[in-house]
Amino acid sequence: MCARSRTASRSAPRLAVLTLVTAGCLASTVAARAEIALLTNGDFLKVADYELLGEKMRLELPGGGALLLDLERIERIIDDEIAPQPSEPEPVAAPGFPLRWQEGQQAEGPHAALLDQVAADYGVNPRLMSAMARAESNHDPRALSHKGARGLLQLMPATAQRFGIQPENLWDPLHNATASARYLRFLIDRFDGELDLVLAGYNAGEGAVERYGGVPPYRETQGYIERIRRFLDLAPRQGDV
């Protein structure tokens, strides 16, 4: 959800990510560059750097100084890199690919049966959910990004709480997929089933989509949309190579 989450399983080497061993263990911390922190109260901060410290995030401010916030107060962290914009309007529709659940749709991957059930419960296309699980965590329910996103579909604790799931339950695939499906259904309804806007909302937050009047110009958000489109065998967005 938070950009293309850079994740690590418990057996993977530490690069620019954090690996969670158990919920009760102390997490290692790795500083990483970022530029925008979106808060749950609607505010956003320009930040020079950030560091995940267990259940808190240390945000370094561009002018000096730092803030230490509970992770549950942070909705997203977005790399503020602006991508070149195409000269023509970008299509947002994906003809022939329904985002809402229909009979006969099937998820793919190691958690297909779980995603099929959860997607049907909340009226979301399970194939979309499995493509997102592939992009977000490579289907790893123990994945933890350096931005604090967790689990199979890489939800931030604050987002999970919005949709009725406590942060400590995000490591459970069922709870993680349930929160994700609820959020996707909210985005599908909010953006009238337009795939690019739904994916942009999942990655950068629905507020960013509304603020920009469409897909935000963030390179990571646009790259995220393109990965999902490839996994779904859909044509690229206009202006993308």
Indicate the helix (H) or strand (E) that contains 136.
helix 126-137
For 190-202, b/e burial (b = at least 16 CB within 10 A) is ebebbbbbbbbbb
Q: Which residues pair with 175 in a beta bridge?
A: none
Find the helix or strand (DSSP H, E) in which 36 lies. strand 36-39
Kindly state the tokens that stand for 240. Answer: 């993308």
Neighbours of 211 (CB within 10 A): 12
Is 136 catalytic? The answer is: yes
Q: CA–CA separation, 3 vs 195, rounded Å?
A: 16
Of residues 136, 194, 206, 226, which has the active-site annotation? Answer: 136
- Cβ neighbors of 99 (< 8 A, separation 6 or more) are 124, 125, 128, 184, 188, 193, 195, 198
Nearest in space to 123 (alpha carbons), one of 66, 181, 69 = 181
Rounded to whole angstroms, the Cα distance separating 205 from 140 reads 23
Catalytic residues, by residue number, are 136
